[in-house]
Structure 1
Amino acid sequence: MFSTKIISAFTASRLFSTSVLLWLLTAPLDGQTAEVTVSARYKGNVTGAFENTTPQASFCSIWVGVCKDFQAFTVSLPLTYDKVSTHQAANPREQFYIKLPARRTVQVVHEKGIDTHQLVFEITHSSQKIQGDTNFSNTANPVFTAYPQGGCSYLRTYLTAHRAYYLWATRLPESPSPCYSSGQGGQPKEVYFTPVSDMGIGYRLTMPSALRMKQGLYRGSASFTVGPGGDFDLGDGVSNLNSPTLTINFELDVQHAFVLNFPAASDRAVLEPPGGWSRWLGGGTPPSRLERSLRLNLWSTGPFKVYKTCQYDQGTSCGIRNGAGHQVPVDVALTLPSSVQHANAPVQRLTIPTGRASALAFDMAMPVAGQSGQLHFDVVSQHVKSMLDYPGSVYQGDVTVLFDATL
């Protein structure tokens, strides 16, 4: 009987997740850059979806139900300024006015520099608090209206004690048009001085598939100009703007799930002819091959690599050796569930290379949860014939197969 001792080593289970987090920083000093961080997290769920971990914008404390219905995330922006508005001015820039930035593509880079992906960021909603001018009635507040003009549509307005909050939807987030308004209680040509604060946005973040991202933290950023003619254009009559620029940082934390199970006693693979030895021992023809396949079960949501090391190297194969020093090669191959791909192709008896530098890279078409594959060991015909010259001997050697989900 020929036996081959196989010692298989596997990486520890890993949880691979992506998060987009938004941390609201304190408002900058005048002239400094305003900055926020948007973040999201992926923790190996089977859908491949990111979990938003960004704190909601302050306007969501006013309109809780509306924010729950959003098909978007929200965040507060640390921008404040004073605005002089003229009721129903012929030039929209002299009314209350805001033009939002166009869609932006952002590159995020893995913290180790080993992977890059692109995000698409676009603003879907806007909100601010406008402190009313006490020289006029509450309802003259320039955002107290259900009829904003231009590229925004009305969602909500809230008025209290000379303060008004608005919430507008952006009609065309990929390329917004200016939005402007005058209060329903104002009179033509009335001029209002209004401090503006509590700015918040709803945003849509189109992210890459986490299933094809390497584990780790990805970072990127986008900078926007603020003020007349800027990416965030606030119209004319603006003063005391606390920052001429806004930087939005993006962080995606990807933590994939990876678990690999083998049945008990899989640390030994006994190679036999197809159908066993009985046919050959009974005087039949020599076996054409010796083989053994070990079943495995895999749970994975992200890419991983596989390679082998050998006690006895023999070309691209591992060797097994008898007591007389005679050695033959064992081919080691891998079959994986259909959701796992190598070079965009299914994995069927794919030869496992020797050494980390030659490792095979696998991607996920979709998450795998407990599906089965096989590890194959084969000695082909010409080498079986040479083994038969040493009847009664035992061939053995160690093969270590490594599944690396840390990449």
Structure 2
Amino acid sequence: MDFRFSKGLVFVSLFGGLFSMPAQALTQEIRAGFVPDPANPQRNGFVDQTPQSGYCAAYPTDCKTYGLSGVRLPLRFSSSLTIEPGAGERQGAMFKIASQWRSLTVRNVTTGEAATVEMRIGGVGSQYVLSDTAVNLTGADSDAQAHHKLWGGTNWLFPSRPCEAGAMGTHGPDFYRFFWRTPVEAVCSKQAAYRIPWMSYEYLDVGYELRTPNPLAMSAGLYTGELNYGAGPGRDFDTGDNILPDSSSVTFRFVLDVQHVLKVDIPPGGNRIELTPQGGWQAWLQEGRRPSRLFRDQTFNIGVSAPFRMFIECEHPGIGACSLRDTESGSTFPQVYLSVSLPHGITDSSGQPVKNHRLTQSGAGALFRPGHYVDRAPGVLHFEVPSHYMEDMLQPGQAKRYTGNVTVIWDSEV
């Protein structure tokens, strides 16, 4: 018997690095990956592998508590007019972030197969820089008191509701670093109590959440897609009508690189199948009692993380099975039928456990799906020549030998 395995490995990830685009746009790549893990076969989701930067890199525990990953965008905001005490929200310091879930389609660059990724902005932060020191602007005695006094006696770390404060904030004479969580889309602002001639946000820290597709249902290859956010008044990253961004859009570019495993191990000698009766040949040799069938169960171990097909090829094709050849007469009358039983966690096309599933010579093959990563679990190939061939194959006083090659194919390219 021959055993053949079609292309084994298939890998999933979303790639990342930050690239600025010319003329009013920024692009940020998001990287995640799925690699079957023998130590954690039940863990079947993507892992975000985007290099962390900004607030979530400095304070990872605070971000992880709320399920956030984070990147720092080189998106700068500057005031165009003086911020006056008592000015309206849109003339002062405010953020309104599109924090609802958004979906995008990613497609396999080779096959066009589609999958859906979802993203949500769950927090933003930056470092504001003042035109002068906070002490000079307010007349307070210390930096900490001055930043507090500048905004009407409220710490910049704590935004207006419904935004929520990050765990940490730092400040210097003319700057304050902050991070605000955005559980819903709403205006979150601070009201200036003193005149501020000029103010900027030096960058934009973004905390995001992802919902990724099921990699076990995806075929191998690279998947790409983009999600666009506008920046500016009335857009997705809205900081009012006075403090304006230097770029008009941010594009999040997703690249999913899917890697699966299909590995089958046959024990030594398992490629040579000898069909025998139940209990051996003694009843036929000593008593002339024909066996009810000839069979052999051959075990194998399989590791798989994606759908695959199984089918057979025959040296001597038969009808729905492979024929065996009588080495003396050349007759190919008897047929050997082959079926498979697969380990727990793998189902057939109807979602049922795979027990004695008949394999055929069809090029499409039988489709099987793992519900989770199956790592080196045992399966069985069942070879059988059924009873209606026994009379012709076994005649008293006649020694015969039947042979034939059967190639079993596990194909991950579904």
User: In which range does the TM-score fall when normalised by the shorter chain?
Assistant: 0.7 to 0.9
Select the residue among 206, 212, 218 that pairs with 2:217: 212
Tell me how far 1:17 sits from its aligned partner.
3.2
Q: 1:116 aligns with which of 114, 117, 122?
A: 114
Q: In the aligned structure 2, how far is the partner of 1:60 from the partner of 1:125?
A: 10
- For 1:141 and 1:80, locate their aligned partners in 2 and report how far apart those are by CA, in whole Å: 22
- How has the CA–CA distance of structure 1 residues 202 and 141 changed in structure 2, closer, same or farther, with 3 Å as cutoff? farther
Which residue of structure 1 lines up, in the alignment, with residue 160 of structure 2?
149
- Aligned pair in 2 of structure 1 residues 29, 150: CA closer, same or farther (>3 Å)? farther
- 2:238 and 2:200 map into 1 onto residues whose CA distance is 16
Deviation at 1:153, TM superposition (A): 0.6
Q: Contact 2:130 / 2:196 at 8 angstroms: preserved in 1? A: no
Post-superposition CA distance 1:48-74 (Å, at most 9, x none) = 232221111223454455346552211
The secondary structure found in structure 1 opposite 2:260 is strand
Match for residue 3 of structure 1? none
AA at the equivalent of 2:157: A
**CA drift at 1:116:** 2.3
In structure 2, give the amino acid aligned to 1:53: Q
User: Of residues 240, 251, 256 in structure 2, which corresponds to 1:252?
Assistant: 256
CA drift at 1:115: 3.1
Equivalent residue, structure 2, for 1:229: 234
Match in the other structure for 2:29: 37
- The residue that corresponds to 1:299 in the other structure is 303
Secondary structure at the aligned position of 1:236 is classed as coil
For 2:91, the equivalent position in structure 1 comes to 94
Q: What are the Cα deviations for residues 36-57 of structure 1, in whole angstroms up to 9, with x where unaligned? A: 1101011111222322211112
Query: Compared with structure 1, are the counterparts of its residues 114 and 374 closer, same or farther at alpha carbon in structure 2 (3 Å cutoff)?
Result: farther
Paired amino acid for 1:295 = T
Kept in 2: contact 1:22–1:75 (CA 8 A): no
Q: What residue identity is the alignment partner of 2:162?
A: G
1:320-350 Cα shifts (integer Å, max 9, x gaps):
1112122122211111001111221111111
Cα distance in 2 for residues equivalent to 1:225 and 1:276: 76
Structure 1 stretches lacking a partner, 5+ long: 1-5
2:18 counterpart letter in structure 1: L
Relative to 1, partners in 2 of residues 1:87 and 1:329: Cα closer, same or farther, differing over 3 Å?
farther
- 1:136 corresponds in structure 2 to 137
Residue 362 in structure 1 maps to residue 368 in structure 2: yes
Distance 1:12 1:313 in 2: 25
C-alpha deviation, 1:260, in angstroms: 1.4
2:391 matched to 1:393? no
Say what the alpha-carbon RMSD is for the aligned residues.
2.5
For the Cα contact (< 8 Å) 2:108–2:114, is it kept in 1? yes
Deviations 1:106-128 (A, max 9, x none): 22222322532212211111111
Would the alpha carbon gap of residues 321 and 86 (structure 1) be closer, same or farther in structure 2, given more than 3 Å must change? same
Q: Deviations over 1:279-321 (max 9, x none)?
A: 2233354222211110011222332222221111112212211
1:322 aligns with 2:323: no
- Pairs aligned (count): 390
SS at match of 2:219: coil
Given candidates 398, 403, 406, the residue that maps to 2:410 is 403
What is the deviation of 1:141? 6.5
**2:10 aligned with 1:9:** no
Tell me if the contact between 1:85 and 1:96 (Cα under 8 Å) persists in the aligned partners: no
Q: Which has the higher strand share?
A: 1
**Distance (Å, rounded) in 2 between the aligned partners of 1:11 and 1:329:** 26
Looking at structure 2, the residues matched to 119 and 245 of structure 1 have their Cα atoms a distance apart, in angstroms, of 20
Once the two structures are superposed, the pairs formed by residues 377-388 of structure 1 within 5 Å of their partners are 377-388=383-394
C-alpha displacement at 1:96, in angstroms? 1.3
Question: Is the deviation greater in 79-88 or in 363-372?
Answer: 79-88
Q: Which residue in the other structure is 1:288 paired with?
A: 292
Q: Which amino acid aligns with 1:232?
A: F
Structure 2 counterpart SS, 1:9? strand
Aligned pair partner of 1:163 in 136, 160, 175:
175
Q: 1:180 aligns with which of 175, 178, 189?
A: 189
Gaps of 5+ in 2: 139-145
Q: In structure 1, what residue type is equivalent to 2:97?
A: L
In 2, Cα distance between the equivalents of 1:309 and 1:364? 24
Quote the Cα distance in structure 1 between the aligned partners of 2:84 and 2:279.
Answer: 92
In 2: Cα distance, 1:394 partner to 1:141 partner: 98
DSSP-derived class of the 2:232 partner: coil
Of 29, 50, 72 in structure 2, the residue corresponding to residue 76 of structure 1 is 72
Structure-2 change in CA distance of 1:10 and 1:146 (3 Å): closer
User: TM-score w.r.t. structure 1 length?
Assistant: 0.87
1:75 positional shift: 1.4
Matched letter for residue 23 of structure 1: G
SS at match of 1:385: helix
Cα distance between partner residues in 2 of 1:304 and 1:380: 28
* Aligned equivalents of 1:288, 1:169: Cα separation in 2: 73
* Equivalent residue, structure 1, for 2:267: 263
**SS, match of residue 386 in structure 1:** helix
How far apart are the structure 1 equivalents of 2:357 and 2:311?
Answer: 11
Question: Which has the larger displacement, 362-371 or 331-340?
Answer: 362-371
SS of 2:259's partner is strand
Of residues 328, 334, 338 in structure 2, which corresponds to 1:332? 338
1:296–1:258 CA distance, 2 compared to 1 (3 A): same
Contact 1:289 1:378 in 2 (8 A): yes
The residue matched to 2:254 in structure 1 has which SS?
A: strand
State the AA in 1 paired with 2:189.
Y
Amino acid in the other structure paired with 2:217:
R
Cα distance in 2 for residues equivalent to 1:62 and 1:141:
26
Instruction: Name which of structure 1's ranges 383-392 and 304-313 shifts more when overlaid on structure 2.
Output: 383-392
Counterpart of 1:22 in structure 2 is 16
TM-score by length of 2: 0.86
Q: Is the 8 A contact 1:29 1:243 kept in 2?
A: no
% identical equivalent positions: 25
Distance change in 2, residues 1:314/1:128 (3 Å): same
Name the residue aligned to 2:199: 194
**In structure 2, C-alpha distance between the alignment counterparts of 1:347 and 1:219, rounded to whole Å:** 34
Cα distance in 1 between the residues matched to 2:255 and 2:385:
49
Give the whole-Å Cα distance in 1 for the aligned partners of 2:150 and 2:60.
Answer: 23
